[in-house]
Amino acid sequence: MQEAKPKSLRNIEEKMEGLDINSLRYHILESAKNFKSSWIELGRSLYSVWKDKMYKDWGYVNFDVYAGREIGIRKQTAMKLLKSYYFLEKEEPQYLKTDYTDSAKPSGIPSYEAVDILRQAKNKKSLDEDDYRNLKKEIFEKGKDAQEVKKNLGVIIRQRQELDPEEVQEKRRRSTLRRLLGQLRLLKTEVSTLKILSAPLVKELDILIKNIDSEIGEES
């Protein structure tokens, strides 16, 4: 005996009937059917719908109503999907490339909940670039789930709070130096390409980069 489909899934399939299979609306509903393995694609589509207010063309007064009635997800879930996708687009676009999403197994693609935790970690002043890099590795390379990532993030935050003021200040200084070094290297590439600085100034910029790089290296 064939197992009955959940009502939410039946509702989605009913809405797909009669729609152009090449339309965005059909594509979103199809992504919603495969939610767990294709949240990135669903997030991308929902972001377009939210940004351009396309739900109004489909007879919905706002995005929340559209998400709830059309594809059967709550406002909180829909917003996490939007924020997680936009975060990847802005901060980690390499994970949105076709070669990554096509080659990765569905089980190997991080959940939107895990990515949302990474998004929140990015904005925490108590964490530095090393902390963020380690969390990202846990999610994208080690495949840890959201609950475990959240637990590890809590441990890191508590550890940072236990540091004395001098340690905190030193950690922030080193983090700032790393960011500055990255910006200077980018600047050097641009001025070298465009040739907008004289050779002596480029040389001084190169010396500054080497000095900062050496200082960070000595502290590591």
In 3-state terms, what secondary structure has residue 198? coil
**Distance between CA atoms of residues 110 and 88, nearest Å:** 11
Domain assignment present for 174: no
Helix or strand run (H / E) with residue 9: helix 7-16
pLDDT digits (tens, 9 = 90+) for 19-41: 999 999 998 888 887 765 568 88
Q: Are the CB atoms for 115 and 145 separated by under 8 Å?
A: no
Q: Are residues 13 and 99 in the same domain?
A: yes
Is residue 190 assigned to a domain? yes
59 sits in the region (left: phi over 0; alpha: psi -120 to 50; else beta) called left
Residues 92 and 142 in one domain: no
What average pLDDT does range 185-205 have in this prediction? 84
Q: Does residue 195 belong to any structural domain of this protein? A: yes
Residue 2 lies in a domain: no
pLDDT band at 67 (very low <50, low <70, confident <90, very high): very high
Q: Lowest mean pLDDT: which of 15-24, 66-75, 91-100, 207-216?
A: 91-100
CB neighbour list of residue 9: distance below 8 Å, 6 or more residues apart: 33
Amino acid at the residue 131: D
The tens digit of pLDDT for each residue in 135-153 reads 888 888 887 888 888 888 8
Residues 13 and 98 in one domain: yes
Residue with tokens 């050496």: 214
- Integer angstrom CA distances of residue 47 from 22, 41, 79, 90, 176: 18, 10, 9, 13, 32
Q: What is the mean pLDDT of residues 82-99?
A: 86
Same domain as 133, residue 192: no
pTM of the model: 0.59
Structurally, the chain folds into a number of domains equal to 3
Structural domain that includes position 57: 7-103
